[in-house]
Amino acid sequence: MTEHSAIGIFDSGVWGLTVVRRIMERLPGERTVYLGDTARVPYGTKSPDTVVRYARACADILLDHGIKLMVVACNTASAFAIHVLQQELEIPVLGVIEPGAEVAVHKSRSGRIGVIGTAGTIRSGQYVEAIRNLEPKAQVFTKPCPLFVPLAEEGWTAGDVPRQVAESYLKELMEEQIDALVLGCTHYPLLKRVIGEVVGPDVALVDSAEATAAIVEQVLGGLGLLAPAEIKPEHRYLVSDDPDSFERIGRAFLGRPLSNVEWVDF
Amino acid sequence: MTEHSAIGIFDSGVWGLTVVRRIMERLPGERTVYLGDTARVPYGTKSPDTVVRYARACADILLDHGIKLMVVACNTASAFAIHVLQQELEIPVLGVIEPGAEVAVHKSRSGRIGVIGTAGTIRSGQYVEAIRNLEPKAQVFTKPCPLFVPLAEEGWTAGDVPRQVAESYLKELMEEQIDALVLGCTHYPLLKRVIGEVVGPDVALVDSAEATAAIVEQVLGGLGLLAPAEIKPEHRYLVSDDPDSFERIGRAFLGRPLSNVEWVDF
């Protein structure tokens, strides 16, 4: 494992590519290897034990690629499995929760912070813990928004239905007068516009993917493991369901075409 | 394998219990063993290859219990894997699609039949094929309704949001003047009321679970494999995610408490 090694990223499906995209934008010389567990997606509705089991399996496959740092791009897997992986692995392991929490604390002036995510992510309490660790006086209000995932997946991101769903989900948080809202699921940035309309311009929206890419750079820099400038580094993709459909759909998330998609047996 | 053997039923999750419930109501003397692949749920968004792979794994586990007949309670698995399982296994294998198609053909007077289901079920074309096999002159109109599953799972079954989602999904089918509509997913009967309001009283709604239980009785009867009257037959449950939460949630679908829930490793 050297500075030439790849950054490994895994997610329950295709949406973690939004994190890969931010990493590529910020660190264009880095090799990456991405694993999307598209056959067993989603993780957000599953029990902690099952999520930890699947996260360990994903980590094992990425480790076989000799990676120098691992990013758990899935909020649910970050919530349940990050500490397990950090203890068990010898390379640094970063989730998306601590980076999102850090940006939320920076952006909030009142210390009243909202967090939305899948049922699993919210139930884990990890965002609340991460925010309180950074700012013990912060008041954190949470709300699971399970219907946002299928809405985003269906591309149903404008019009009456997503607006009413968002109003229904966000009502309680708005009554708590939050001034920052963490979009604690890789899917939610696709609904950023409708969420922004419902919460209004005085609530800062926090996208964990951007925050995570910044931390990846800091950690690699701190360890002296940033890649020397390389032109066109290699990017590989591993998926547990159909590689062709991943290649087709992934393009939209990554903002560029992707190839080298291999199937892994889960 | 004798008439004392159990009926095996599998589904991608907990919702196949709606089929078990109908079987228990109709055949109260039969033993059952149910497998819910709750760790890898849902199947409706996955590729045919992955669904066939998972269906085979489910079938193998049920066969270890010496069952006399297998019911594939999941519409997506029925669509993609039923013919494979029917060829590979030595016991009868029934899906939910043919029974649903049969009832739809009976109930429709005009021969204009609507079918709704997951993206995978609709893409497979299996309902259209099954209906046309029974009634070549039938005109079948289909529409995937992916948001119905999370709405049902969230218990969001009344009010503006489900009504608007239903109106949006069913608009095209209503323009085709259907007079029967197959609810081609185990979740959809939970939205029966709102779907009924949108399509009106002149469209007959077809619930495949009921239709399937009737066919199970016919097939077992035909093979001389109906269980002799037994008081309190044994019912077993196998799941790939958390057994406790299955036991808690399953009660509502089954209409009675359930125990004997075991974990299987997928």
Together in a domain, B161 and B114: yes
B160 pLDDT more than 80: yes
Together in a domain, A57 and A75: yes
Structure confidence at residue B53 (pLDDT)? 97
Report the length, in residues, of chain A.
Answer: 266
A1 is a domain residue? no
Count of CB atoms situated within 10 Å of the CB of B47: 18
Contacts of B157 in chain A (CB under 8 A): none
Which amino acid makes up residue B122? I
CA A159 to chain centre: 26
Q: Rounded CA gap, B254 and B251, in Å?
A: 5
Structure confidence at residue A47 (pLDDT)? 94
Active site residues of B: 74, 185
Which amino acid makes up residue A212? T
Residues 6+ apart with CB under 8 A from A89: A59, A63, A70
Q: Do A47 and B164 touch (CB under 8 A)?
A: no
More confident residue, A249 or B108: B108
Report the length, in residues, of chain B.
Answer: 266
Q: Do A150 and B146 touch (CB under 8 A)?
A: yes
Together in a domain, A204 and A221: no
Together in a domain, B259 and B240: yes
Is A58 in the active site?
A: no
Q: Do B153 and A161 touch (CB under 8 A)?
A: no
Q: Do A147 and B156 touch (CB under 8 A)?
A: yes
Last residue of a domain, one of A167, A184, A208: A208
Structure confidence at residue B229 (pLDDT)? 77
B152 pLDDT more than 80: yes
From the number of C-beta atoms within 10 Å of its C-beta (0-12, 13-18, 19+), residue A63 rates as middle
Contacts of B164 in chain A (CB under 8 A): 160-161, 164
For A181, which DSSP code?
Answer: E
Residue whose C-alpha is closest to residue B15's, from B241, B248, B187: B187
Contacts of A160 in chain B (CB under 8 A): 164
B18 is a domain residue? yes
A2 is a domain residue? no
Residues 6+ apart with CB under 8 A from A100: A127, A130, A182, A184, A206, A207, A208, A211, A212
Count of CB atoms situated within 10 Å of the CB of A96: 31
B1 is a domain residue? no
Is the distance from CB of A171 to CB of A199 less than 8 angstroms? no
- ipTM for the assembly: 0.77
> What is the rounded average pLDDT of the residues B198-202?
97
The predicted model scores a pTM of 0.84
Structure confidence at residue A1 (pLDDT)? 82
Q: Do B164 and A160 touch (CB under 8 A)?
A: yes
Last residue of a domain, one of B161, B180, B208: B208
Out of B147, B240, B241, closest to residue A150 by CB: B147
Together in a domain, B218 and B200: no
Q: Three-state DSSP class for B172?
A: helix
CA B204 to chain centre: 18
Together in a domain, A88 and A217: yes
Dihedral sign computed on CA atoms, order A74, A80, A82, A86: negative
Which tokens go with B230? Answer: 């037994």
Count of CB atoms situated within 10 Å of the CB of A216: 23
Phi and psi at residue A7, to the nearest 5°:
-90, 130
Together in a domain, B54 and B90: yes
A125 is a domain residue? yes
Together in a domain, A163 and A122: yes
Which amino acid makes up residue B37? D
For B137, which DSSP code?
Answer: T
Q: How confident is the model at residue B1 (pLDDT cuts 50, 70, 90)?
A: confident
Which amino acid makes up residue B100? G
∠ at Cα B155 (B151, B161), nearest 5°?
50
Angle, in degrees to the nearest 10, between helices A17-26 and A243-254: 50
Contacts of A45 in chain B (CB under 8 A): 41, 153
Report how many Cβ contacts below 8 Å link chain A to chain B: 61
Structure confidence at residue A217 (pLDDT)? 94
The string of DSSP codes covering chain A is: --TTSPEEEEESSSTTHHHHHHHHHH-TT--EEEEE-TTT---TTS-HHHHHHHHHHHHHHHHTTT-SEEEE--HHHHHHHHHHHHHH-SS-EE-SHHHHHHHHHHH-SSSEEEEEE-HHHHHHTHHHHHHHHH-TT-EEEEEE-TTHHHHHHTT--SSHHHHHHHHHHHHHHHHTT-SEEEEESTTGGGGHHHHHHHH-TTSEEEEHHHHHHHHHHHHHHHTT-PPPP-SS--EEEEESS-HHHHHHHHHHHHTS----EEE---
Residue whose C-alpha is closest to residue B79's, from B46, B102, B105, B111: B46
For residue A37, what is the nearest residue in chain B, using CA coordinates? B40
Residues B16-30 have pLDDT tens digits of 999 999 999 999 999
Structure confidence at residue B32 (pLDDT)? 97
Contacting A with CB below 8 Å, chain B residues are: 38-41, 45-47, 49-50, 54, 146-147, 149-151, 153-154, 156, 160-161, 164-165, 168, 240-242, 245
Together in a domain, B112 and B192: yes
Q: Do A146 and B160 touch (CB under 8 A)?
A: no
d(CA B179, nearest CA chain A) in Å: 27
Q: Do A241 and B40 touch (CB under 8 A)?
A: no
Contacts of B145 in chain A (CB under 8 A): none
Q: Which helix (H) or strand (E) holds B118?
A: none
- The catalytic residue among A74, A138, A213, A215 is A74
More confident residue, A165 or B228: A165
Structure confidence at residue A96 (pLDDT)? 95
Which tokens go with A155? Answer: 């591309």
Q: Is B155 left (phi over 0), alpha (psi -120 to 50) or beta?
A: left
B2 is a domain residue? no
B255 is a domain residue? yes
Strands (E), A99-203: 112-117, 139-144, 180-184
Structure confidence at residue A142 (pLDDT)? 98
Over pLDDT 90: what percentage of chain B?
A: 86
Together in a domain, A202 and A214: no
B138 pLDDT more than 90: yes
Q: What is the mean pLDDT of chain B?
A: 94
Structure confidence at residue A255 (pLDDT)? 86
Total tally of structural domains belonging to chain A: 2
Tell me, what CATH number does A222's domain have? Answer: 3.40.50.1860
Beta partners for B117?
B144, B184
A58 is a domain residue? yes
d(CA A229, nearest CA chain B) in Å: 39
Together in a domain, B166 and B103: yes
Q: Which domain holds residue B241?
A: 7-95+210-263
B230 pLDDT more than 80: no
Provide the residue-wise pLDDT of chain A in tens; the chain has 266 residues. Answer: 899 999 999 999 999 999 999 999 999 999 999 999 999 999 988 999 999 999 999 999 999 999 999 999 999 999 999 999 999 999 999 999 999 999 999 999 999 999 999 988 999 999 999 999 999 999 999 999 999 999 998 889 999 999 999 999 999 999 999 999 999 998 998 899 999 999 999 999 999 898 999 999 999 999 999 998 767 899 999 999 999 999 988 988 898 999 889 999 98
Together in a domain, B232 and B167: no
Name the residue with tokens 């990456």.
A32
Out of B156, B164, B245, closest to residue A47 by CB: B245
Which amino acid makes up residue A88? E
Q: Do A146 and B150 touch (CB under 8 A)?
A: yes
From the number of C-beta atoms within 10 Å of its C-beta (0-12, 13-18, 19+), residue A252 rates as exposed
Helix, strand, coil distribution of chain B in percent, nearest 5: 50, 15, 35
